[in-house]
Structure 1
């Protein structure tokens, strides 16, 4: 009996699996290109949002100039949005190369980028849910002490 640590395990892709991965790579490529386009629009909009908020008159509700704050906020959001799109793009391009060249190394790199994409999205989701829970708890505490 062979030791499982030294035993070589191989996974082969049949034609159906290759076709599914090829189609997945096409869709992820499309989604990543659309993501990059919207990312560019977000960066452009960040400067218009800054100008828009700068044109609002200062009042008691908004005593400071929110133009630069909104520009920086949108640029930070664009930077955060950039990484999952990049991972998705790298997955699609490496997967296409791996399927054409039948390279195990390119296939591994493609799946590594897919893993990074989902890991980033998962961690970001946990952070956003945590922020929502924190705001909800602060609202409850604020409501209790307001009465």
Structure 2
């Protein structure tokens, strides 16, 4: 015979206030995701137009301006691609949580919380990668500074 702790037999229930908080969170998440998609679109437009503008101005800047404009375009497109997934997860959370409460659907509520988990997981990993990149740049700058002394 297995002994189950009181915590294992506990069933979590949402109070009306918790439901209200989740509904409001869903509305804000949906709003922020729409803004995120708009800004991603602006980043893509900037990537395309900034790259072509720099390439057209490149005649007076020398031969490497075409490479620089292409590099800027690629960097902006990578930024837009990196921002897409967390914004998409936030959008799915916001839209699913609204419909979960409208239809009283537990599976959709679970799905929306899974999208929220994916959003935070992606953002957390992205922050770790960016901080690691900053640390690497800092170390390389220190090594370069020390090497310039000799």
Which stretch of structure 1 is more off in the superposition, 62-71 or 124-133?
62-71
Q: Secondary structure at the match of 1:11?
A: coil
Q: Which residue of 2 aligns with 1:38?
A: 39
| Structure 1 residues 86-125: aligned runs within 5 Å | 86-125=88-127
Which stretch of structure 1 is more off in the superposition, 11-20 or 98-107?
98-107
Q: Deviation string for 1:51-105 (max 9, x for gaps)?
A: 122123334xx73422222112211111111000000000001111111222221
TM (normalized to structure 2)?
0.88
1: CA distance between counterparts of 2:36 and 2:29?
10
Q: Is 1:58–2:61 an aligned residue pair? A: yes
1: CA distance between counterparts of 2:145 and 2:69?
31
> Residue 137 of structure 2 is aligned with which of 121, 135, 138?
135
1: CA distance between counterparts of 2:101 and 2:10?
20
Equivalent residues, number? 143
> Quick check: 1:36–1:85 contact (8 Å CA) kept in 2?
yes
Instruction: Report the aligned-residue RMSD.
Output: 1.7
Mind listing any 5+ residue stretches in structure 2 that lack a counterpart?
none
1: CA distance between counterparts of 2:14 and 2:103?
13
> Quick check: 2:54–2:65 contact (8 Å CA) kept in 1?
no
1: CA distance between counterparts of 2:30 and 2:37?
11
TM (normalized to structure 1)?
0.89
Q: Is 1:68–2:107 an aligned residue pair? A: no
| Structure 1 residues 11-50: aligned runs within 5 Å | 11-50=12-51
